[in-house]
Amino acid sequence: MTHVVAVLGVKGRPTEVREAGTGEPLVFLHGGGIVEGFGFLAGLAERFRVVVPLLPGYGSTELDPPVSSQREVAEHTRDVLDALGIERTVLVGHSMGGWRAAHFAARFPERVSRLVLGAPWGMNVPECPPADLASMTPAERVALMTTDPRIYEGRYPSGPDPEFWAAREREQVSRTRIMPGPYDPELPEAAARVTAPTLLLWGEEDRIAPLPHAAVWQKALPHATLRTFPGRGHQLFHENPAILQDAVPPTSEEAGP
């Protein structure tokens, strides 16, 4: 995706925002890692003003002062939208970003016209726990993330690269601060307050948030539709960008997802 990168002052915090396209705003909230890039959003940028704000600790967004709860994360997202002049948006989140998006939609329902969640994190499914990524090496995590390892080709350095790994460490600090544990005990109550039409997208071969999590999310959300995709893993948007492009028609074509 050809995009403009800006660093905004958001309540005193330098915050990196990537933006492409024109039209109705579509805000994408990224997951726990961003080394895969955002190329899968290129098709949407032909129809929307696509905005990707980076969390504290990611890219050029300052890690400190700490953001340490889902409430503070939602408020930071609100402040970014205010700085960009976006009053209402299509909100898309993947993985940890899906958790962030659900909490934002619950806390600020007037700001979200449609909600699209790709394999979101956060529900407690005791019989099918999510993968314990913190205990894995980078290579082990990559092996579980996708059914198409080509999406990671050239994304990791072949030799020593202290700057690259320092960036990954900042991201890890950020995740540790905001994620409450292996799941979010407050999430079911928050999900029940989401009023926006919601579309859940899930790869049937997801080994990070396995498919049984999808049914729990669908039950928790009042207005949710679920679509699953055979042969796709956790990185389903990177594996097939058309999944997301087809899921988000312009408002003029369809009132909901």
Residues 187-196 pLDDT 10s:
999 999 999 9
Average of per-residue pLDDT across 94-108: 98
Containing structural domain, residue 98: 4-247
Strands 112-118 and 25-29, by their bridges, are unpaired
Residue 255 counted as domain residue: no
Average of per-residue pLDDT across 78-106: 98
* 159-174 confidence digits (pLDDT tens): 999 999 999 999 999 9
Tell me the torsion sign for CA atoms 123, 203, 97, 166.
positive
Residue 105 counted as domain residue: yes
Average of per-residue pLDDT across 113-117: 98
Domain with residue 242: its CATH number is: 3.40.50.1820
Average of per-residue pLDDT across 49-68: 96
Q: Is the pLDDT of residue 147 over 50?
A: yes
Global pTM exceeds 0.85: yes
Domains contained in the chain, number = 1
Mean pLDDT of the chain: 93
Residue 252 counted as domain residue: no
* 230-257 confidence digits (pLDDT tens): 999 999 999 999 999 999 987 644 444 4
Q: How far is it, in rounded angstroms, from Cα 153 to Cα 150?
A: 5
* 195-226 confidence digits (pLDDT tens): 999 999 999 999 999 999 999 999 999 999 99
Residue 67 counted as domain residue: yes
| pLDDT of amino acid 33 | 93
Residues 6+ away with beta carbon under 8 Å from 101: 29, 91, 92, 93, 115, 117, 120
Residue 253 counted as domain residue: no
